[in-house]
Amino acid sequence: MFVMTVKKHQYFYTYDTVGSFLRPNDLKEAYNQVDNGEITQDEFKQIQHGATKKLVQQEITHGLHVVSDGEYNRKNFFIDFLAGLNGVQVVPDGFKLNFSGQELVDDGLKLAGKFEYNANHPFFSDYEFLQSIIPAGVQAKVTIPAPTPLLFEGDFAVIANYSDFYASREEYLADILKVYQQTIAHFYELGLRYIQLDDPWLLGVTLPITGLQGDENTERVTKLEDEITSLIQKIIAAAPDDMIFATHICRGNFHSASLGGGTYASITNVLQELPYDAFFMEYDDLKTDGDFEPLARIHRAQPQAVFVLGLVTTKTSQLESEQKLQHKILQAMDMVPLHNLSLSPQCGFASTKEGNDLNEQQQWDKVDLVVQTARDTWKTDACRFD
Indicate which CATH number applies to the domain containing 241: 3.20.20.210
113 vs 108: CA distance, rounded Å: 16
CB 272 within 8 A of CB 297: yes
> C-alpha angle 84/360/48, rounded to 5°?
35
Mean pLDDT of the residues in the chain = 89
Q: What are the tens digits of pLDDT across the range 251-301? A: 765 444 455 667 899 899 999 999 999 999 999 887 777 799 999 999 999
The reply to whether 316 falls in a domain is yes
Q: What are the tens digits of pLDDT across the range 335-371? A: 999 999 999 999 999 988 888 889 999 999 999 999 9
Virtual CA dihedral for 184, 189, 195, 201, nearest 10 degrees? -10
Contact residues for 77 (Cβ-Cβ < 8 A; gap 6+): 19, 20, 71, 143, 145, 198, 348, 351, 352
261 vs 169: CA distance, rounded Å: 27
For residue 257, list its beta bridge partners: 254
- Where in the sequence is the domain holding 247, given as residue range(s)? 11-74+120-384
The reply to whether 175 falls in a domain is yes
Positive or negative, the Cα torsion across 34, 22, 3, 81?
negative
The reply to whether 97 falls in a domain is no
The reply to whether 3 falls in a domain is no
55 vs 130: CA distance, rounded Å: 11
The reply to whether 288 falls in a domain is yes
Helices vs. strands in the chain: H and E counts, helices first: 11, 12
CB 22 within 8 A of CB 360: yes
Kindly state the average pLDDT of the residues 369-378. Answer: 97
pLDDT band per the 50, 70, 90 thresholds, residue 216: low
Q: How far is CA 223 from CA 151, 213, 270, in A?
A: 10, 14, 12
The reply to whether 318 falls in a domain is yes
Which among 142, 239, 252 has a CA at the least distance from the CA of 207?
252
The reply to whether 100 falls in a domain is no
pLDDT of amino acid 93 = 58
pLDDT band per the 50, 70, 90 thresholds, residue 385: very low
Which among 316, 315, 262 has a CA at the least distance from the CA of 289?
262
310 vs 374: CA distance, rounded Å: 12
Q: Is the pLDDT of residue 100 over 60?
A: no
pLDDT of amino acid 1 = 26
Q: How many domains in the chain?
A: 1
pLDDT of amino acid 94 = 58
Task: Say what the pTM is.
Answer: 0.92
The reply to whether 113 falls in a domain is no
Q: How many CB atoms lie under 10 A from the CB of residue 363? A: 22
